[in-house]
Amino acid sequence: MGAYILRRLLLMIPTLFGIMAISFAVIQFAPGGPVEQVIANLTGPGGGAGDRLGSGGGGDAGGGNFEMGSGGAGSSKYRGAQGLDPEFIAKLEKQFGFDKPPLERFGKMLWDYARFDFGDSYFRDISVVDLILEKMPVSISLGLWITLISYLISIPLGIRKAVRDGSAFDVWTSGIVIVAYAIPGFLFAILLMVLFAGGSFYDWFPLRGLVSDNWRELSWPQRILDYFWHLALPLTAMSLSAFATTTLLTKNSFLDEIRKQYVVTARAKGLSERQVLYGHVFRNAMLIVIAGFPGAFISAFFTGSLLIENIFSLDGLGLLGFRSIVERDYPVVFANLYIFSLIGLAVSLISDLTYTWIDPRIDFERRDV
């Protein structure tokens, strides 16, 4: 097992390299980079966006306030840069690090990321690490609770459906699960807002934020209640379709195991149905469910809450990643990609190790036949 873990850890290096290389190459051909973003703000309506530059750019040079020159226009490789001083454009490129060749920039990025040095945001006066940590509580709350809720609902429901396969309970619950899965979460979130968050009906739940403004003044029991009071609607909207796949996967996995010969043998020995189900079937049937856990967790934790965060004004990692892509804040984009790819690979390895813990018969070591 030690050799297997070592191989998996070593394979993470080329995997991360490939992810970052492909993403970096795609970015080189994407229009509207950070330099263009600044130029658009300077030359567009309500320009004078030089203030944004004063927030410590993420390039090799530190941030500085630049004044927009008007001489020596000439042609420029940047759209909308006509009429701007070429020296000013050169300063912008140096600030964002675009005065260096792409391969040199990519190599520097890999070296910095290997030391977990992610630099500063282009357009926010804060380091990337601090920015991610600032948004983390929202994503942890949504991802952790929705994963727990979905598995606590899905596994018992899937087992019950497998035991009562073909019954009225199985048919009706399948219909409810499929309909719930088909309803877009963001539409259900809007419905919940209209009904229970001060829309046209009731004003029972808060509309924005993870906690109230006076949260620090509350006692610990009141803080816990306030926290879940704010999470009630977002979690309800996200959980509508979260448990459908796991429920059906659990049911089908249990059905496959129930029909196998060892179950017939266990029943013939006089074991009760509960002993057969939870003493023999459960361990084998849950393997395939565990296989889907890393993907479900990563999806809920990092990507599945973008629209919900936006609707309920929850400033988490999903919303941060989306805004960073729109604003071309590349240090934040690449840092998110690097960190969460690394976490995804680590969680996948942990999932494989969990296989061996649940069923010692599974061995990932390579054997000579």
The full DSSP string for 231-256 is HHHHHHHHHHHHTHHHHHHHHHHHHH
What was the pLDDT predicted at 299?
66
What was the pLDDT predicted at 58?
44
What was the pLDDT predicted at 297?
67
The Cα–Cα gap between 262 and 241 comes to 34
Read off φ and ψ for residue 292, nearest 5 degrees.
-90, -5
Q: Which residues of the chain have pLDDT under 70?
A: 42-85, 199, 291-305, 358-369
Read off φ and ψ for residue 120, nearest 5 degrees.
-115, 155
What is residue 352's three-state secondary structure? Answer: helix
Q: Where are the domains of the chain?
A: 19-117, 129-358
What was the pLDDT predicted at 65?
41
CATH of domain 129-358: 1.10.3720.10
- Over residues 287-298, the pLDDT tens digits come to 777 766 666 666
Residue with tokens 């994963």: 147
DSSP 8-state class, residue 269: T
0.75 exceeded by pTM: no
Q: Which two tokens stand for residue 246?
A: 């796991």
Encoded amino acid at 350, one letter: I
Instruction: Count the helix, strand and coil residues of the chain and give each as a percent rounded to the nearest 5.
Output: 70, 0, 30
Q: Is 32 left (phi over 0), alpha (psi -120 to 50) or beta?
A: left
Q: Please, what's the b/e burial string for 292-318 (b: 16 or more CB within 10 A of its CB; e: otherwise)?
A: ebbebbbbbbbebbbbbbbbbebbbbb
What was the pLDDT predicted at 73?
44
Measured in whole angstroms, how far is the alpha carbon of residue 239 from the centre of its chain? Answer: 16
What was the pLDDT predicted at 243?
80
Contacts of 58 (CB under 8 A, 6+ apart): 96, 97, 119, 120, 121, 122, 128, 329, 330, 331
